[in-house]
Every structure is written in structure tokens, then in C-alpha cells.
Amino acid sequence: MKFADLGLSPELLQAVESAGYTEPTPIQAEAIPQVQMMRDLIAIAQTGTGKTASFVLPMIDILANGRRRARMPRSLILEPTRELAMQVSENFEKYGKNHDLKMALLIGGVQMGDQVKALDEGVDVLIATPGRLMDLFERGKIMLNGCDLLVIDEADRMLDMGFIPDIEFICEKLPTPRQTLLFSATMPPPIKKLADKFLDNPKRIEVARAASANVNIAQFKVEISAKKKLDALKYLLQVDNVQTAMIFANRKTTVRDLNKSLRKAGFRSGEIHGDMDQANRIAELDLFKSGEVNILVCSDVAARGLDIKGVSHVFNYDTPWHPDDYVHRIGRTGRAGAKGRAITLVSPADAEAMENVEKLTQMKVPPFDWASVSPEAAEEAAPKGRSSRRRSEEREEAPREEAREERPKRERRPRREEREEQEEVVEAAPRREREPRRERVETSAREDRRPRYADNDPPTKPGEWNGPMPGFLGVGFN
């Protein structure tokens, strides 16, 4: 089947062909005609199958006729993250270049001024994250009663991020009837409940089993201790023919530390996570897309929907806590029919999470075949978990460490002997000094118990005093 067989307008077909596409993906082939027929739609498809174009392309033709009004967008697309919202806007710019359509992007992390100005001028397509949309709605800057077409993209991610109450609020403010399109890679019960409440007799399309992974992605796991994860990752990045890679970690602090370690080791890496402001996140993505950096360390903020061509590998430094995220993470590779590899580093702490992933995907992820990398890797890298660079550093450091060990041994011996001699002197000296003192004290005590002489009696011997010593036992001088 060709795009020309889907009933798209000549202007739209020209834009699609100039982008280098001639044949639709299965989800596009099934979804586009249903959207053109103005039907509600539930589309379940694994990530990387072209869901974005399956609603962007028919929307462009639908919105080609109509009039814009200030602060009243004609259509609304909800995205869970800023990156996904920006990607959808890029699709509209690419495919709608031959149409007179106005678009506005409402995302957090940027100034509201330009967004409000675009709304005041009137837009055909409003692409927004729920948080910023709710903010502007409560400020009275936008009205939703003119929106006849709603797209809820990555619905299961919306659920994970806690946006479902916001989406329910937004849906209640939209007019009825309207056309609603819901796209997701999985269909958990809360999403099904949302669909039952706000969609009218929807057409369900499922081009792949829910939570299944792309068959073009070769999946492996490396069972290794947590302490050796970093060395194993560095080794794999060096020997597994990695062209471009995305590395996922569960925590933002891990993302920062991992990127710092990789850059220190000489890799061209960047990072993206939720603590970065929007300008820095865009800059890092642009560097990755341009090839200036070929490794992107990221949190799950980049796991959904980002379409970056040529990603050869996905590494899960941590097994994701939510098994659904595994499907989305590895979906960053093997896109548009290309082959990809996904390798998950599984420590004992990750074992339960990996079991949940295998239960969800209904497949046993095979262990990584180190022999496929090199014979040396099978013998050395797998058990030791160290990179070749680290082994060379250890060999270089070994002579220096031995020299450092020898010097203290030669110096410690004389110092220890001198201390022992000094201690003997110190021990002997107090004993010689204390013995006379004890004799004097004891003698004085014995003499104190003798009968005292009267003041006018002479001492027992010339020069001897048998009374208390002045100033020693509390008796002062007279």
C-alpha cells in the first residue's frame, strides 16, 4: 500500500514524499482512514511504529477548511512531556508546509508571553502538556469550547505521570459531540475506563500485542553485580559496534553521575532529565540528533515517543521500575524498519523488576553472548566486568603501587626500633623517679603516725623534723 491509496490531498502527499516516505506503516494504514471518517479511535501500537503521523496527516487535511478564532483552538493534542510536544509540532511543520495552518505549542519551562500572543492570534492546532494548558485555562487565556478534535497521545504515560485527573477535567470542558483519538502502547484498566467515559463508540485498532516489543530489536540482559555495572557498560560501548546509543537510568542523580563518568573516560556523551530547564534539554537533544554527541544518558523523560533516527543501541543501566517503561525505552531503537539492540544490566537488586518485564512482554530475555563480541570478551570481560582501558590503567598503576609499598617498609623499621628504644628509656625513667617519691611519701606517712614532739622539744636527730612537712599535707608555713 502507498500513501496515495489513503485518500490524502495532493499537497499533503507532496510533503510526505519530500520527507522521504512512500509506504505507510501498519498503524498508519489502518488509522488514517478511520480519522478521515471522523470516527473516535483507540489505537494500540508499540512505540516506534509511526503513531504520530497516523493522526498528524489526516488532521492536516481535516483542518484545511475552517476559520481560526482568537483564544479558541480548533483542535487539541495532549502530550505527557515537552519533548513529545515539540516532536509533534515538528511533524506538523514538516507535513503541513503546503497548508495555511497556524500552530501553538504550550509547554512548561518557557515564557508564557509568546504562547499567549499566539493564542490571541488564533490557532488551528494546539499542542500542549496538561500542566501548562491548565495554567493558562485557569488564567482565562484560552477557551476550549471551540475544539472539535482531541488527541490524547501516549495515554499510558499520562497515567504514570498522574495526568489522568487533569485530562478528565479538560475533556469535560470540551464541546460534545467531538472527535477523540486515543493512542497508547499499552491499555491498563484506568486508560480503558477513561476511553469508556469520553469516547463515543470508538474504533479499536491494535497492530501489535499490547506491551510487545519490536521484532527488529535484539534484546539481551547482562547479569552482573551493581559495582561492576559501569565497567561493563564502558566495555560494551567500546566493542559492540555502538554508533549511537541511549542509556536509561531510573534516577536523575544516576543520569548525572553516569554522564560525568563516561565523559571522563573519553566518550562523547550528553544527558537529559527532568531537573534540566527546557533550553538545556533542547540543546542536548540537538547535539545528539546532529551527531556531535553519540551517547545520550537519560531518565524516562526521554523514553516515550522521541523519534531520533539511527539509534543503534539502547542500554538499560537500571531495569525500569515499571515494566511498561521497558517497552518504551527499547523502542528508541529499531525504528522505521531498522535493526536495533537493547541490552539491560541486571544486578541482584534488579532481578524482580526484570521478572516483571519478562512477564509483561511474555518472553524470556536471553543473556548476552559475550563470544559474539570477541573471544577475549567471553573469557575476560564477562567474569571480570572491567573495560580494557581500566585493565591497562591497573597495569600501569601496579609498579607505582609496589614502589610506594616498598618505601614505607624500609623507613618504618628504623623508626619502630627508635621508638622502642625511646619507650624503654621513658619506662625506666619514671620507675627510678617514682620509687624515691613513694619512699618519701611512705616515710612521711609513717612519721606522721609517730607521737609528735612539743614545739620546744628537740628533733630526734640533728636536722630532722618529725612533724608534718610544711605545704605538703595541707599545713602551711607559719
Domain locations in the chain as residue ranges:
3-206, 217-392
What percentage of the chain's residues is helix, strand, coil (to nearest 5)? 50, 15, 35
Q: Which of 293, 225, 224 has the alpha carbon at shortest distance from 259?
A: 293
pLDDT value of position 10: 94
Give the C-alpha separation, 258 to 270, whole Å: 10
One fold for both 3-206 and 217-392? Answer: yes
Give residue for cell 628533733.
Answer: 459
The pair phi, psi for residue 183, each rounded to 5°, is -120, 135
Give the C-alpha separation, 179 to 107, whole Å: 23
Give the C-alpha separation, 42 to 202, whole Å: 6
- Residues 33 and 54: beta-carbon distance below 8 Å: no
Distances, alpha carbon 381 to alpha carbons 85, 238, 304, 377, in Å: 41, 12, 32, 5
At residue 35, the 3 state secondary structure works out as helix
b/e code 268-287 from CB counts within 10 Å (16+ = b): ebbbbbeebeeeebbebbee
How many helices (H) and strands (E) the chain has is answered by: 17, 13
pTM for the model: 0.62
Give residue for cell 616515710.
Answer: 443
Q: Which pLDDT tens digits describe the chain residue by residue (478 residues)? A: 899 999 999 999 999 999 888 899 899 999 999 999 999 999 998 766 788 999 999 999 999 988 999 999 999 999 998 888 998 999 999 999 999 999 999 998 788 999 999 999 999 999 999 999 999 999 999 999 999 999 999 998 898 889 999 999 999 999 989 999 999 877 889 999 999 999 999 999 988 655 566 678 999 999 999 999 999 999 999 988 899 999 999 999 999 999 999 999 999 999 998 888 878 888 998 999 999 999 999 998 887 767 788 899 999 999 998 888 898 889 888 876 788 999 999 999 999 999 999 988 888 999 998 766 655 555 554 444 444 444 444 444 444 444 444 444 444 445 555 555 554 444 444 444 444 444 444 444 444 444 444 444 444 444 444 444 443 333 333 3
- Assigned C-alpha cell, 416: 619502630
The single-letter code of the amino acid at 10 is P
pLDDT value of position 225: 93
b/e code 206-241 from CB counts within 10 Å (16+ = b): ebbebbbbbeebebbbbebeeebbbbbbbbbbbbbe
The pair phi, psi for residue 207, each rounded to 5°, is -90, -10
Instruction: Say which CATH architecture domain 3-206 belongs to.
Output: 3-Layer(aba) Sandwich (3.40)
Give the C-alpha separation, 146 to 470, whole Å: 110
Give residue for cell 614545739.
Answer: 455
Q: Fold for domain 217-392?
A: Rossmann fold (3.40.50)
For Cα atoms 37, 40, 46, give the angle at the middle one, nearest 5 degrees.
105
Distances, alpha carbon 206 to alpha carbons 44, 45, 137, 212, 453, in Å: 5, 6, 34, 11, 121
Give the C-alpha separation, 339 to 243, whole Å: 12
